[in-house]
Chain A
């Protein structure tokens, strides 16, 4: 076989594989690529509004449940001083019954975040509680919009020259719509590793409200080939505010005990 024939065959194979993936399959792969069984990470959440920037530092513990779909996540804030010891526990459940609990050290008390509130701002950032929680493939129906070069943005040079699938996700139920506050999402998913690069969020009226750009993809669990964005930038289009979520010191395979994700653990302040 001539060299050109091999190249043509490879190209054809690659293209046909590319074309063969349905939008749902793309999003399944996206979810799979990021599905780390357990992780502990240091993180910071920096929100900038005008000249003012507020930075919060926290640790998070995240563990995949036995159902292989949902996660439990514990977030513990360390800085600044007035939020030290505060904790947030996300308990993802089926049938859109996510539970979000918050611990306030000033009152030694756990408070529940109502599901409707989960579409509102996560601790004054441009992320909502729903953005922080893992979107599940079954919560949406999908439509392939197009394939194009991944978008370029500051800090996202690593994606340059790579093809992206552009997939539209629509909530399958009003409950999902209500919880997330979005009518649809448009995701740019890298064709090579299926990690998303950019997601646009549209409100119930159909207007673009937020744009998330993810970068610094790192293989945090080489054995299982699991990837993670180390930097996620969320921008509120109308308000012009930006929050940057950064992760560092990510550890996987730590065998985090289930007791970490209980109310008792939440109220330990450490």
Chain B
């Protein structure tokens, strides 16, 4: 059976490497896409000036242009266009509103020739707009990339509808871009509008989002940047385009770190599989090793023999893993980026996967290293086998010596878990990547070493109950498992490691989901939420003008007060935090909807909406990241300058991993000069029917204003869905972990049956039927699967609890509370039993078909 075992182990390494490589490819491709998009949009700009998402006054352009050292300054409006009526918000366009009369020096656009007809479109090297006079004077003019137009069945002169601040509006395609320059950004999901057209469409009249600058030849870029900072004052970010990329990278780094943690753990599962396989090989070839040693083979020769075998399995597994990893990355990328988009409340796209030849080398090196590492301990043990001990059969003293230090495995496991607990609760691994790795390895190796002992203990404890209930076959199965605890332990080890990983993922998922939903139930009690179409839950909608709120309350069946909220991102100490600006809540709720956690809600609400000076509530993760507390001041850069906001309380909020601030909307409007709103929360009038009111909103505002109304219940469901989607990518990790576990279990069961050939033959000789033999092996598998799953649940839950309490808040950015994953546990136990039975089927069949005479002659 050696070829089968070798194949299964190699496959296990391949799955581990595949997952690791897939995550590496996705993470890198996402960052590359960020960088390329930023570079493509920045063009030849050496500096860029930006403000908050609400924009800054366009008059600033002239001030910027006059700063010594500024040669050219090109203004821009940036907006995300959502297709009208598309509730999924999957089809969107990044709009660059540029002043085409000032663009030449910064960016170059190339048009495509319609007659070229290729998928890419021929490059005509012509002006992008045939008729600038018409283009500039018509606010509906837009230029699409050839790729986007083709994918959406659009061509020059086609019209399509998008959501705007004033409702649905048709845009007309007046040009197509070839994929060069800015058109390469965002995977071609980019469009160019004239700056004034974009302003009108996206509610930014009189504003700018950014100004790209080319500095004069000979001017020191940093000096020009400093002059610009002095001229503009606070509230503006003056940076090199490359720095923008770094900011984005920093933002998604935590999310990618979590992905890496899970993929590394999957690789660790592969380590156990190799370790398991080599251990079995050593046990199986004990006599052979003894003979070789007796014939003069040196210890290092024995070591080299096993390490070479492991290396070969690792290398071949890695080759396969690279191929699988590329496929897996393609399968996972959409899920991962969608999940990131939801998490960071912005559209993140990874249009193409970037596989490098160095990935191949890395994968092979990682696979080989992992295999060597995993094989080292069992191989070293092989070198300690004494020739005489190896020749003896069933010598208890020799067996004791052979076990050697492994007798202390459970103790070592417990020690490692203790180290993990102390390390994670003190966040040692947060600031140090190596300690982070040590953390993960301690948790998994500790659980793997302690787990088997827990399984054996469980079997012993439950035997007095199980044996009378199960009959002779169960008694035999139980006896077999208890008689050789080492074999039982090694059988369940790889399954357990896989299941622990599944439990950890389930625990993080459930804890996040329940924490967020619990917060949401407290914070959102309105009957309806109205916004423009799109994914309102992640603010992937077009903001609307506040006038719409006033129009909305005229709908019969609605209360006369609408409660608007504006969500934007603002820069604070170089990080991108969320800002929510609220109208006072419905008096029916009082301030009970404000999720304040450090003081009475009424007090906090009264102070937020009643005080005349700028006040702010900060989220708990903001406190975690910035170390500020109630009474401190947050100095926020607004378009009108730096404004000190007094912190009056701490709230729970999950809209941004970097932190969220709550301000009242009148204060926001005063400092940000922004009349737009993201959503409107509104209650039904007493006795009004929800569906009737929704239909009326749809009739009045659906088509014309592109508005949609979502009920409280639907919104809750969307919230639950988005959390689930955020973790959807972990399905692949779970699957890989379970596959590795299955392979490990199958491997060890098979060896276990092989090792017991003589014993099983004896049982058949004394009258055990084939069916009884089959049942006995399956019962063994069942017991190991069930108890392995239970032990994995206990250890996995413990590790998750510690992780969530400790490191995870820093890795993820949010403070979440541990919730026990009941469903995950039930599923895990069921999967454990199923996997064990599946893995036991073939060994059971093989055992039941043993020829008695041959079996008795075995060895």
CA gap between A74 and B139 in the complex, in Å: 24
A-side contacts of B102, CB under 8 Å: 112-114, 117
Shortest beta-carbon distance, A83 to chain B, in Å?
4
B104 contacts A117, CB within 8 Å? yes
B126 contacts A56, CB within 8 Å? no
One digit per residue, 1 when the CB lies within 8 angstroms of any chain B CB and 0 when it does not, for chain A 220-262 equals 0000000000000000000100000000000000000000000
A82: interface (CB < 8 Å): yes
- Which listed residue, A82, A112, A120, A239, touches B134 by the CB 8 Å rule? A82
A83 contacts B137, CB within 8 Å? yes
A168: interface (CB < 8 Å): no
Closest to A129 in B: B101
B-side contacts of A119, CB under 8 Å: 104
- Which listed residue, B72, B126, B134, B200, touches A116 by the CB 8 Å rule? B72
A104 contacts B196, CB within 8 Å? yes
CA gap between A106 and B197 in the complex, in Å: 9
A-side contacts of B133, CB under 8 Å: 56, 77, 82-83, 86, 123-124
48-105 of chain B: CB within 8 A of chain A: 72, 74, 99, 101-105
CA gap between A111 and B101 in the complex, in Å: 8
- Which listed residue, B103, B131, B137, B139, touches A117 by the CB 8 Å rule? B103
A-side contacts of B72, CB under 8 Å: 114, 116
Shortest beta-carbon distance, B141 to chain A, in Å?
10
CA gap between A261 and B138 in the complex, in Å: 25
Knowing A113-B101, A114-B101, A116-B104, the reply to whether A124 touches B130 (Cβ < 8 A) is yes
CA gap between A132 and B137 in the complex, in Å: 21
CA gap between A109 and B200 in the complex, in Å: 13
B132: interface (CB < 8 Å): yes
A-side contacts of B126, CB under 8 Å: 239
CA gap between A73 and B377 in the complex, in Å: 88
- Which listed residue, A104, A114, A124, touches B105 by the CB 8 Å rule? A114
B196 contacts A114, CB within 8 Å? no
A106 contacts B139, CB within 8 Å? yes
B390: interface (CB < 8 Å): no
Knowing A112-B101, A113-B101, A114-B102, the reply to whether A121 touches B127 (Cβ < 8 A) is yes
CA gap between A78 and B133 in the complex, in Å: 12
B129: interface (CB < 8 Å): yes
CA gap between A82 and B129 in the complex, in Å: 15
B-side contacts of A86, CB under 8 Å: 133, 136-137
- Which listed residue, A80, A104, A112, A116, touches B136 by the CB 8 Å rule? A104
One digit per residue, 1 when the CB lies within 8 angstroms of any chain B CB and 0 when it does not, for chain A 75-115 equals 00100101100100000000000000010111101011110
One digit per residue, 1 when the CB lies within 8 angstroms of any chain A CB and 0 when it does not, for chain B 119-159 equals 00000001101111110111100000000000000000000
Shortest beta-carbon distance, B65 to chain A, in Å?
10
Knowing A86-B133, A114-B72, A123-B132, the reply to whether A109 touches B101 (Cβ < 8 A) is no
Shortest beta-carbon distance, B811 to chain A, in Å?
47
B137 contacts A82, CB within 8 Å? yes
B-side contacts of A136, CB under 8 Å: none
A-side contacts of B103, CB under 8 Å: 114, 117
Knowing A111-B101, A114-B105, A116-B72, the reply to whether A124 touches B137 (Cβ < 8 A) is no
CA gap between A108 and B104 in the complex, in Å: 24
Shortest beta-carbon distance, B670 to chain A, in Å?
27
A107 contacts B196, CB within 8 Å? yes
A141: interface (CB < 8 Å): no
Closest to A83 in B: B133
How many A-B pairs have beta carbons closer than 8 Å: the answer is: 68
A218: interface (CB < 8 Å): no
CA gap between A168 and B555 in the complex, in Å: 74
Shortest beta-carbon distance, B213 to chain A, in Å?
13
B-side contacts of A105, CB under 8 Å: 137
Knowing A114-B72, A114-B105, A124-B127, the reply to whether A83 touches B139 (Cβ < 8 A) is no
Query: Number of contacting residues on A, CB 8 A?
Result: 26
CA gap between A80 and B137 in the complex, in Å: 12
A-side contacts of B200, CB under 8 Å: 107
A143: interface (CB < 8 Å): no
- Which listed residue, A54, A111, A120, touches B99 by the CB 8 Å rule? A111
A-side contacts of B104, CB under 8 Å: 114, 116-117, 119-120
A-side contacts of B99, CB under 8 Å: 111
CA gap between A104 and B101 in the complex, in Å: 12
A49: interface (CB < 8 Å): yes
CA gap between A102 and B102 in the complex, in Å: 12
A-side contacts of B127, CB under 8 Å: 120-121, 124
Closest to B126 in A: A239
Query: Number of contacting residues on B, CB 8 A?
Result: 22
Shortest beta-carbon distance, B132 to chain A, in Å?
5
Closest to B130 in A: A124
Shortest beta-carbon distance, A50 to chain B, in Å?
9
CA gap between A119 and B133 in the complex, in Å: 16
B131 contacts A102, CB within 8 Å? no
A-side contacts of B138, CB under 8 Å: 82, 106
One digit per residue, 1 when the CB lies within 8 angstroms of any chain A CB and 0 when it does not, for chain B 440-482 equals 0000000000000000000000000000000000000000000
One digit per residue, 1 when the CB lies within 8 angstroms of any chain A CB and 0 when it does not, for chain B 193-207 equals 000100010000000
Knowing A109-B196, A116-B72, the reply to whether A124 touches B101 (Cβ < 8 A) is no
- Which listed residue, A104, A111, A114, A123, touches B131 by the CB 8 Å rule? A123
Shortest beta-carbon distance, A75 to chain B, in Å?
10
B-side contacts of A107, CB under 8 Å: 139, 196, 200
CA gap between A113 and B99 in the complex, in Å: 9
B-side contacts of A104, CB under 8 Å: 136-137, 196
Shortest beta-carbon distance, B60 to chain A, in Å?
15
Shortest beta-carbon distance, A177 to chain B, in Å?
14
Shortest beta-carbon distance, B595 to chain A, in Å?
43
Shortest beta-carbon distance, A117 to chain B, in Å?
5
- Which listed residue, B105, B131, B137, B139, touches A54 by the CB 8 Å rule? B131
B-side contacts of A82, CB under 8 Å: 133-134, 137-138
A-side contacts of B101, CB under 8 Å: 102, 111-114, 117
177-211 of chain B: CB within 8 A of chain A: 196, 200
B-side contacts of A120, CB under 8 Å: 104, 127
CA gap between A139 and B127 in the complex, in Å: 27
Closest to B139 in A: A106
Shortest beta-carbon distance, A242 to chain B, in Å?
14
CA gap between A49 and B136 in the complex, in Å: 20
Shortest beta-carbon distance, B156 to chain A, in Å?
11
B-side contacts of A112, CB under 8 Å: 101-102
Shortest beta-carbon distance, A244 to chain B, in Å?
16
One digit per residue, 1 when the CB lies within 8 angstroms of any chain A CB and 0 when it does not, for chain B 559-576 equals 000000000000000000
A116 contacts B105, CB within 8 Å? yes
Shortest beta-carbon distance, B105 to chain A, in Å?
4
592-646 of chain B: CB within 8 A of chain A: none
B139 contacts A124, CB within 8 Å? no
B-side contacts of A106, CB under 8 Å: 137-139, 196
CA gap between A43 and B447 in the complex, in Å: 87
CA gap between A82 and B126 in the complex, in Å: 22
CA gap between A88 and B133 in the complex, in Å: 10
Closest to A45 in B: B133
Shortest beta-carbon distance, A110 to chain B, in Å?
11
**Which of B72, B132, B137 gathers the greatest number of chain A CB atoms within 10 Å?**
B137
CA gap between A251 and B105 in the complex, in Å: 38
CA gap between A124 and B111 in the complex, in Å: 13
133-155 of chain A: CB within 8 A of chain B: none
CA gap between A112 and B73 in the complex, in Å: 12
19 A-B residue pairs with Cβ-Cβ distance under 8 Å, sorted by A, are A54-B130, A80-B134, A82-B134, A82-B138, A83-B133, A83-B137, A86-B136, A102-B101, A106-B196, A107-B139, A111-B136, A112-B101, A114-B102, A114-B103, A117-B102, A123-B132, A124-B127, A124-B129, A124-B130
Please give me the 7 A-B residue pairs with the lowest Cβ-Cβ distance, nearest first. Answer: A114-B102, A83-B133, A124-B131, A116-B105, A113-B101, A107-B196, A123-B133
12 further contact pairs, Cβ within 8 A, besides A107-B196, A112-B102, A117-B104: A82-B134, A86-B133, A104-B137, A106-B139, A107-B200, A111-B136, A114-B72, A116-B72, A117-B103, A120-B127, A121-B132, A124-B131
